[in-house]
C-alpha cells in the first residue's frame, strides 16, 4: 500500500522547522512533549512513534524502489489486520464517528456542497445504533405524541439518496497520526480507527461526534436501580416500565405509582411534566434537585413557565437535596412492612432513596419509588478510546472533552475535527458552549464547510455560536420557547407547543423525512382538534357547574401574588441580582458535577457532613499504596461569597487535578452563600469544616491523612476565607494536639480597604464605592471596608492577629491581568511580612492571564505552572 501524494494533501513542514507547540500532546497532568518520549528506531532509520505498529501508518517504512513511495511492512509475528476497503483509491476519505446531530448533519452537509474536480470525498458514518435519534423529542414517546419512526428513522433510510456509507459498529480505539512529523513533500493518512468488530478503518480526515454517555454510577445503588434517559433504548425501557406499573394497578385498589426523578435540569423537568401528565391521579412524581432552583441555566421565561407547570401538577419537589443511596426493599401490601434486600413471596418490589440535605435548615428524607430516573451527569467517550501506549494523544480538558481550535480542529491534529458533546469549545465570554442539539446543528454546518475548505486548500472559518433561543416540552399540549432575537418573549402553552413542533419538524435531517413527519403530525393534530371540539360541544350542552370554591379562588390569587417584583434592589454583576421582593437571581445558575471516580485522573470523591457543615472529600489514586500518610488541603471556592460550590464542574475538575498532582487528600468545603446567609455564615461553616478535618473525623482522614500537614487554600473570596481560618486557628486550643496547620495558599485573594494601595490609586471613586456596597451586601453587620475580615491590617490589633497565624509558610499567588485584585495580593504579602509574621512568605505571579483564570484554562501553560507551584509548596 503506497502513500500517494494528492492535491488535497496538506503540505508537510520542512525538517528544519520545529514542531509547533500547539500540536504537542497535553494531558491532565500538564504538557507532555511527545518528542521527548522514548523513540524506537526501525531498521530504516525512521521513528516508530510511541511504539505503534508500523503497519498501521503508511509513512513509517521506505520501499526499496527508490521512487519515493512507501509500502506497508508486515512482521512475522504480526497478525494481518482487516483494513476497510474504500471504493475509490484516489479520492479523500472522511470518517465520521457518531451519528447524532453533529455526525449525521456533517455527513449531509458534505453531501450538499459542490466539489471541484475529483475532490468529493468518500464519507463513512459509523454509529453503534442503526437509527438516528432526535433526542429532544424522546419525551413525546412517553406521552404518545410521536411514533418511533418519526423521531428515530433508520440511517439507511436517511442516506439512501446519498453517497455516504453507513457502518453499524462501535469504536474501540483511536490512533490518529496527523500530529506526527511528516517527510517533506509527502502526504499521508490521518490515522486509523479500530472498530469493535475487528475492522480497521484508515482515513484521511476524521470527525469526532461521539457525544457523551450517561454517568449513572454516581451513588451506591444508582447503577443497579436507576434508569438514565439519553437514548432511544432508555426511552423504550422507561416506557416499558411505566406500562408494566400501569397494568399491575389497573382495576385494583392499589397505592399510586411513585416515580422519582433525580435532577431538575431541562431533562428532569421535561420528564417530570410528561410523566405526571400521563399518570394523572394514578401516580405521583417526586423530583429531587441539588440546587434550590430548577433549570438554573435556562432563560427566566422558560424557568418560570416550567415552575408553574410543576406546581400545578401532582409533583412533589425536593429542592436542595442530593441522593445518598438507592436500595431495594420488598413491601407487603397487607402489612405495609418493608424488608430490605430480601425477597418475600408475593410482595411488591420498592426502591428507597435516602436524601441528604444540601442546604442548611433542611432535614434528611427517605423516599419510596417504583421507578427511579436519573438525569444528572454525563461522561465523554473519548478518554477510553485513546491508545494505551499514548493515552493523551488527543488533548482533553478536565471534563474529558476534546480541546479544539476555533475552526473545530482538534488542537495539534489538523486532520481531526471534534463537534457536539465531544468538543470543548467556549463562547467569546470564555464559557463552555452548552451540550445541546442547537450547538451540534451549527457546528455540523461549520465542520462540513471547513472539511471542504481543508480538502480544497482554502481558508477555514472560525466557529461562532448563535444562540437562537431555548425550548422545552411541558406536557402533551404545553411547551415553553424563549427566543433570543426577541428580548423578553416567551411562548407558553399550546402556542409554544405548536411552535416547538414546527421548529423540530423543519430540523429533521432530510426533506423527505420532513414531509413524512409533517404530514403525520398534521393528521394527528387534526384528530386531536376534532376530539377537543367534541369535548367542548359536550361541555357546552351540559348543565352548568358550580362556581369555584373560595379556597380555589384564594389559591389562584396567591399564585398571582407569588410573582416576584421586577424592580432590582441590588445588582452584583456578574454573580447575582436581588429584587425588592427578596427574590435572588443568579444568572450563571448552579451546574452540578457529582462526586465519584474521576475518569481522567482516577481521583475518588464523596460528599459528607463535616460536623455541622458539609464538604466534598477527595482521595488521590493509589492512596492505599502510599509509603506514608498524605498531606491535607482544605479548599474554599470563590464566587464573591454569593455563588459557587464544590460541586460546580470547574471547581470539581480543579480539585481533581490538584489532588492527583499533589497526592494529597482534598477537602472542598460547602459553605452557605449570601445574601440568603450573610457573613459570617461562610466563615462559621469554614471553621466547622477545618475543625472537623483537624480531628480526623472521617475514615478517609483516619486512614490516609497526616493531620500535622494541613494546608488551607482558596481562590478569590475562598482565599479570604482561608486567611480568616488561619487567623482563627491561632486562638488557644483551636488546633487539637497532634494536628497542625502547616501552610496557607492564597490564590488571587479578595481583600480591599478604604485607602487605595499601589495601582489602585488610578481607580475612580466608583470602584471603591462598589467594593464598599458589595461588602456590606454580603456582610450587613460589618464595618464596611474597615472590617478586619476584608482589610486584615486595618488596626494594630488586626495586624497582631494576622502576625500570629500558626502557618509555617504562606504562598500568595496573583495574576498579571487581574486589574481589580492583583495590587491587594501584593499588598497582603508586603503587610504580612511587615507585621512580624515569623514564617516564610512566597510569591507567585501568573503572566498574561486574569482573575481566577485557572478554572477555564486548567490545561494551559499558565494553568499548569500555577498548579505545579501549589504542588511544590505542599510537598516542600
Per DSSP (E only), the strands in 196-281 are 200-203, 205-208, 212-214, 226-228, 257-262
Can you state the angle between helices 796-803 and 822-834, rounded to 10 degrees? 80
Helix (H) or strand (E) holding 704, with range, is helix 699-704
Nearest-CA neighbor of 750 among 851, 874, 848? 851
- Lookup result for grid cell 411534566: 273
- Lookup result for grid cell 411488591: 348
Nearest-CA neighbor of 579 among 568, 594, 587, 563? 568
Cell (9 digits) for 483 = 427566543
Q: Could you tell me how many residues make up the chain?
A: 876
Of the residues 276, 818, 835, 846, which is catalytic?
Answer: 818
Nearest-CA neighbor of 829 among 807, 817, 814? 814
Per DSSP (E only), the strands in 198-347 are 200-203, 205-208, 212-214, 226-228, 257-262, 283-289, 315-319, 321-331, 338-340
Nearest-CA neighbor of 298 among 163, 169, 470, 439? 470
* Cβ–Cβ under 8 Å, residues 135 and 437: yes
* Cβ–Cβ under 8 Å, residues 302 and 490: yes
SS3 content of the chain, % helix, strand, coil (to 5): 35, 25, 45
* Cβ–Cβ under 8 Å, residues 778 and 845: no
Of the residues 590, 668, 851, 860, which is catalytic?
Answer: 851
Cell (9 digits) for 241 = 416500565
Phi and psi dihedrals of 348, rounded to 5? -95, 140
Helix (H) or strand (E) holding 701, with range, is helix 699-704
Distance CA 344, CA 331 (A): 8
Is 769 one of the annotated active-site residues of the chain? no
Phi and psi dihedrals of 483, rounded to 5? -95, 125
Is 716 one of the annotated active-site residues of the chain? yes
Distance CA 688, CA 709 (A): 18
DSSP string of 163-216, one letter each residue: SPEEEE--EEEEEE-TTSPPPTT-----EEEEETTS-EEEESEEEE---EEE--
Phi and psi dihedrals of 832, rounded to 5? -65, -40
Q: Which residues contact 483 (CB under 8 A, 6 or more apart)?
A: 468, 469, 489, 491
DSSP string of 392-418, one letter each residue: TSS-B-TTSPEEB-TTSEETTEEEEEE
- Lookup result for grid cell 394514578: 282
Cis amide bond preceding 472, omega within 30: no
Taking CA atoms, 159 is separated from 125, 207, 863, in Å, by: 10, 18, 45
Distance CA 853, CA 818 (A): 9
Name the burial class of residue 809, with classes exposed (0-12), middle (13-18) and buried (19+) by CB atoms within 10 angstroms of its CB.
middle
* Cβ–Cβ under 8 Å, residues 105 and 209: no
Taking CA atoms, 292 is separated from 258, 259, 307, 569, 824, in Å, by: 22, 20, 12, 21, 34
Q: Is 506 helix (H, G, I), strand (E, B) or coil?
A: helix
Of the residues 716, 835, 846, 860, which is catalytic?
Answer: 716
CA 219 to chain centre: 18
Nearest-CA neighbor of 222 among 121, 314, 351? 351
Give me the active site residues, please: 716, 818, 851
Amino acid at each position: 500500500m503506497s502513500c500517494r501524494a494528492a492535491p488535497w494533501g496538506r503540505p508537510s513542514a520542512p525538517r528544519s522547522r520545529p514542531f509547533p507547540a500547539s500540536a504537542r500532546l497535553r494531558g491532565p497532568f500538564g504538557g507532555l512533549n511527545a518528542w521527548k518520549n522514548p523513540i524506537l528506531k526501525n531498521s530504516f532509520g525512521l521513528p516508530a512513534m510511541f511504539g505503534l505498529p508500523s503497519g498501521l501508518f503508511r509513512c513509517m517504512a521506505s520501499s526499496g524502489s527508490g521512487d519515493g513511495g512507501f509500502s506497508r511492512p508486515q512482521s512475522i509475528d504480526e497478525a494481518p489486520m482487516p483494513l476497510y476497503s474504500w471504493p475509490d483509491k484516489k479520492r479523500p476519505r472522511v470518517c465520521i464517528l457518531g451519528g447524532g446531530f453533529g455526525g449525521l448533519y456533517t455527513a449531509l452537509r458534505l453531501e450538499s456542497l459542490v466539489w471541484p474536480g475529483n475532490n468529493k470525498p468518500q464519507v463513512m458514518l459509523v454509529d453503534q445504533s442503526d437509527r438516528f435519534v432526535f433526542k429532544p423529542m424522546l419525551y413525546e414517546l412517553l406521552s404518545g405524541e410521536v411514533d418511533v419512526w418519526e423521531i428515530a428513522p433508520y440511517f439507511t433510510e436517511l442516506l439512501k439518496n446519498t453517497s455516504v456509507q453507513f457502518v453499524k459498529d462501535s469504536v474501540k480505539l483511536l490512533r490518529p497520526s496527523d500530529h506526527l512529523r511528516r517527510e517533506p513533500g509527502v502526504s499521508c493518512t490521518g490515522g486509523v480507527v479500530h472498530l469493535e468488530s475487528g475492522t480497521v478503518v484508515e482515513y484521511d480526515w476524521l470527525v469526532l461526534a461521539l457525544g457523551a454517555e450517561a454517568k449513572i454510577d454516581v451513588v451506591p445503588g444508582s447503577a443497579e436501580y436507576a434508569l438514565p434517559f439519553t437514548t432511544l433504548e432508555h426511552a423504550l425501557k422507561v416506557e416499558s416500565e411505566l406500562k408494566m406499573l400501569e397494568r399491575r394497578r389497573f382495576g385494583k385498589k392499589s397505592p399510586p405509582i411513585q416515580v422519582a426523578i433525580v435532577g431538575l435540569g431541562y431533562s428532569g423537568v421535561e420528564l417530570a411534566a410528561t410523566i405526571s401528565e400521563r399518570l394523572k391521579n394514578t401516580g405521583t412524581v417526586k423530583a429531587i434537585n441539588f440546587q434550590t432552583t430548577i433549570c438554573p441555566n435556562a432563560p427566566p421565561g422558560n424557568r418560570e413557565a416550567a415552575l408553574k407547570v410543576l406546581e400545578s401538577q401532582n409533583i412533589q419537589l425536593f429542592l436542595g437535596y442530593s441522593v445518598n443511596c438507592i436500595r431495594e426493599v420488598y413491601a407487603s401490601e397487607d402489612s405495609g412492612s418493608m424488608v430490605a434486600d430480601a425477597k418475600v413471596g408475593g410482595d411488591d418490589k420498592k426502591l428507597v432513596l435516602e436524601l441528604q440535605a444540601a442546604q442548611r435548615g433542611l432535614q434528611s428524607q427517605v423516599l419510596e419509588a417504583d421507578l427511579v430516573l436519573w438525569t444528572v451527569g454525563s461522561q465523554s467517550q473519548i478518554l477510553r478510546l485513546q491508545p494505551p501506549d499514548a493515552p493523551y494523544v488527543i488533548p482533553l480538558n478536565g471534563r474529558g472533552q476534546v480541546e479544539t481550535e476555533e475552526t473545530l480542529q482538534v488542537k495539534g491534529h489538523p486532520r481531526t475535527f471534534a463537534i457536539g458533546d465531544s468538543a470543548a469549545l467556549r463562547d467569546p465570554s470564555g464559557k463552555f458552549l452548552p451540550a445541546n442539539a442547537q450547538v451540534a446543528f451549527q457546528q455540523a454546518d461549520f465542520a462540513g464547510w471547513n472539511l471542504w475548505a481543508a480538502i480544497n486548500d482554502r481558508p477555514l472559518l472560525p466557529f461562532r455560536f448563535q444562540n437562537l433561543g431555548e425550548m422545552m416540552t411541558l406536557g402533551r399540549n404545553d411547551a415553553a420557547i424563549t427566543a433570543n432575537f426577541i428580548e423578553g418573549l416567551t411562548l407558553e402553552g399550546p402556542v409554544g407547543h405548536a411552535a416547538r413542533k414546527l421548529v423540530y419538524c423543519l430540523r429533521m435531517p432530510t426533506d423527505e423525512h420532513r414531509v413524512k413527519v409533517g404530514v403525520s403530525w398534521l393528521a394527528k393534530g387534526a384528530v386531536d382538534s376534532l376530539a377537543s371540539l367534541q369535548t367542548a360541544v359536550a361541555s357546552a350542552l351540559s348543565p352548568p357547574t358550580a362556581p369555584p370554591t373560595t379556597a380555589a379562588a384564594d389559591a389562584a390569587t396567591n399564585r398571582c401574588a407569588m410573582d416576584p417584583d421586577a424592580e432590582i434592589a441590588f445588582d452584583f454583576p456578574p454573580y447575582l441580582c436581588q429584587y425588592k421582593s427578596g427574590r435572588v437571581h443568579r444568572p450563571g445558575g448552579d451546574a452540578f458535577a457529582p462526586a465519584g471516580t474521576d475518569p481522567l485522573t482516577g481521583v475518588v470523591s464523596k460528599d459528607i457532613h463535616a460536623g455541622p457543615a458539609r464538604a466534598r472529600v477527595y482521595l488521590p489514586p493509589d492512596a492505599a499504596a502510599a509509603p506514608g500518610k498524605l498531606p491535607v488541603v482544605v479548599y474554599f471556592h470563590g464566587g464573591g461569597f454569593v455563588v459557587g460550590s464544590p460541586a460546580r464542574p470547574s471547581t470539581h475538575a480543579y480539585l481533581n487535578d490538584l489532588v492527583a498532582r499533589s497526592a494529597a487528600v482534598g477537602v472542598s468545603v460547602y459553605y452557605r452563600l449570601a445574601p440568603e446567609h450573610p457573613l459570617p455564615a461562610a466563615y462559621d461553616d469554614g471553621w466547622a469544616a477545618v475543625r472537623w478535618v483537624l480531628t480526623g473525623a472521617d475514615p478517609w482522614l483516619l486512614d490516609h491523612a497526616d493531620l500535622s500537614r494541613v494546608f488551607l487554600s482558596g481562590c478569590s473570596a475562598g482565599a479570604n476565607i482561608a486567611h480568616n481560618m488561619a487567623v482563627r486557628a491561632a486562638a488557644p486550643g483551636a488546633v487539637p494536639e497532634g494536628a497542625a496547620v502547616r501552610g496557607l495558599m492564597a490564590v488571587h485573594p479578595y481583600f480591599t480597604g478604604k485607602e487605595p494601595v499601589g495601582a489602585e490609586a488610578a481607580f475612580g471613586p466608583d470602584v471603591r464605592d462598589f467594593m464598599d456596597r458589595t461588602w456590606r451586601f454580603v456582610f450587613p453587620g460589618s464595618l464596611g471596608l474597615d472590617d478586619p475580615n476584608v482589610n486584615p491590617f486595618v488596626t494594630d490589633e488586626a495586624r497582631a492577629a494576622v502576625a500570629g497565624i500558626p502557618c509555617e509558610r504562606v504562598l500568595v499567588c496573583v495574576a498579571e491581568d487581574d486589574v481589580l485584585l492583583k495590587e491587594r495580593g501584593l499588598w497582603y504579602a508586603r503587610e504580612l511580612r511587615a507585621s512580624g509574621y515569623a514564617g516564610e512568605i512566597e510569591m507567585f505571579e501568573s503572566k498574561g492571564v486574569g482573575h481566577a483564570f485557572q478554572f477555564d484554562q486548567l490545561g494551559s501553560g499558565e494553568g499548569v505552572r500555577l498548579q505545579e507551584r501549589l504542588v511544590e509548596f505542599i510537598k516542600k
